[in-house]
Amino acid sequence: MKTLKLIYWSALGVLTTIMLFSIYNYFTNYEMIAGFFEHLSYPTYLIYPLAIAKILGLIAIWGNFSVWLREWAYAGFFFDTLLAFFAHYITDGQDYLIAFIAAIATLVAYFVGKELRQ
């Protein structure tokens, strides 16, 4: 049980750190992020809504308000990291490692957390 808790909190910490770094960059380095979005063929008007969605997702997970809300937050993070991974991998073959780590951390935190709550 101690090992599962350590794995859960580590994975959640990694996911939170990556998301906070992403949110920080979205708000403080808009021009750089806009360049990345354009390079990946994503519309730049998604930058601020995506940052706000990530903030709300972290609040939903850490706040533990409801099971439904937490599950949707994990789903959102999974789709975000999975799409980021493939976008980076397909377009230039670089910078996909962080997205891959975030996707794995999302899955580990979700499934291990679910096991701990049962």
The pLDDT tens digits for 4-28 are: 999 999 999 999 999 999 999 999 9
Q: Structural domain of residue 52, as residue ranges? A: 2-117
Reference 102, options 64, 76, 70; nearest CA is 76
Q: What is the pTM of this model?
A: 0.89
Asked if pLDDT for residue 39 goes beyond 90, the answer is no
Chain centroid, CA 104 distance in Å:
10
Res. 64: pLDDT tops 90: no
Residue environment code for 66-84, b if the CB has 16+ CB neighbours within 10 A, otherwise e: eeebbeebbebbeebbbeb
Encoded tokens for 92 = 């230039």
Counting the structural domains of the chain, the total is 1
**N residues, the chain:** 118
Select the more confidently predicted residue: 111 or 1. Answer: 111
